[in-house]
Amino acid sequence: MKSKLVEKKRLSEDYWWFELEFIKEFNFKAGQYVSVKVNEAGKRRAYSIASVPGGKKIGLLVNVSPGGVGSKFFENLKVGEEIEVLGPLGRFVVKTGSTFDGFHLGGVRVGTQPPSEEKSLIFVGTGSGIAPLKSMIEDVLPNRVNDRSVYLVWGMRYEKDLFWQKEFEELERKYKNFKFILTLSKPSVSWQGRRGRVTDVLKEMKILKGAEFYLCGSSVMVEDCQKILVGKGVNEEKIHFEKYG
Ligand SMILES: Cc1cc2nc3c(=O)[nH]c(=O)nc-3n(C[C@H](O)[C@H](O)[C@H](O)COP(=O)(O)OP(=O)(O)OC[C@H]3O[C@@H](n4cnc5c(N)ncnc54)[C@H](O)[C@@H]3O)c2cc1C
């Protein structure tokens, strides 16, 4: 499908935001990705959709630090240029719908249970692995899961990498069932926040039986998280993941 670049914005040193517009509505499920044609020879690279479903536009988060043909394509792209994408692709989507067992009265939800820790949704991402998680979280919080606790554990290396912190903190204020945990593996001495890897957070977390996990990042990160979770007794069926290579 053909699309047009309508916005290009630098979020931090290596991370960029790109907004693509299609001629008609682009239907996808939060968590899916598109395959982008990144050179004339037809080479393709996969990019998760970081925006929420609905409308003609999609947003992509691109880390250009790998420096290969995909990174170069996006770095050189100019607003107004055409981009060829294939998609939506992938099955990394939130499996469970709402467990809301109340009813609506005059548009107000009645009878909602307090957020359940037992049925938590736990999203864990590193680097650009945050892209599909942002889409999934922004999709589930208002629409589907106000009776479940939702956690986001996001790992980055340095302060200079950071972006979207304010957005997630805002969501935390808005949704009482949402908790955002940011951790840096190589922060400066003045960093006031959490230090360490996402795996350290998982090791510390009290994990209840019904929790479901969505992991996204490098293969190494995903596999390390899987080992910890399985070691803590989490059923493999409850661990969903997308590996970026
Ligand atoms: C399903 C899926 C979804 C993806 N979604 C995104 C996304 O939303 N945003 C995004 O930025 N990337 C995403 N990726 C990764 C993306 O497809 C490319 O692999 C990445 O942009 C590097 O491509 P490149 O051509 O620049 O580098 P390549 O020429 O492919 O690789 C150059 C070097 O960088 C290494 N490398 C590859 N990827 C990474 C990485 N992510 N971090 C560090 N080093 C790397 C390679 O091992 C190689 O040594 C996704 C991958 C998959 C499989």
- pLDDT (0 to 100) of residue 97: 53
- pLDDT (0 to 100) of residue 91: 95
Q: Given CATH 3.40.640.10, say whether it is the number of domain 112-243.
A: no
- pLDDT (0 to 100) of residue 100: 44
Q: Check pocket membership of 221 for ligand 1, CB cut-off 6 A.
A: no
What is the rounded distance in angstroms from the CA atom of residue 230 to the CA atom of residue 217?
18
Grouped pLDDT means (10 residues each) for the chain, 245 residues: 97 97 97 97 97 97 97 98 97 72 46 64 97 96 80 96 96 94 97 97 87 96 97 93 94
- pLDDT (0 to 100) of residue 119: 80
Q: Between vectors from CA 88 to CA 82 and to CA 92, what angle results, nearest 5°?
A: 135
Distance 156 CA to ligand 1 centre (A): 16
Contacts of 105 (CB under 8 A, 6+ apart): none
Q: Check pocket membership of 207 for ligand 1, CB cut-off 6 A.
A: no
Ligand 1 atom 9, closest CA: 62
- pLDDT (0 to 100) of residue 142: 86
Which of 13, 45, 185, when mutated, tests ligand 1's pocket best, judged by the most ligand atoms within 8 Å of its CB? 45
What is the rounded distance in angstroms from the CA atom of residue 210 to the CA atom of residue 119?
5
Please identify, by atom number, the ligand 1 atom nearest to the C-alpha of residue 69.
25
Burial of 199 (0-12, 13-18, 19+ CB in 10 A): buried
**pTM (2 d.p.):** 0.92
Distance 52 CA to ligand 1 centre (A): 22
Q: Omega into 53 within 30° of 0, i.e. cis?
A: no
What is the rounded distance in angstroms from the CA atom of residue 178 to the CA atom of residue 171?
7
- Provide the residue ranges of all domains of the chain, joining segments of one domain with +: 2-89, 112-243
- pLDDT (0 to 100) of residue 117: 63
- pLDDT (0 to 100) of residue 96: 67
Beta bridge partners of 60: 18, 49
Q: Check pocket membership of 45 for ligand 1, CB cut-off 6 A.
A: yes
- pLDDT (0 to 100) of residue 208: 75
Question: 2-89 maps to which CATH number?
Answer: 2.40.30.10
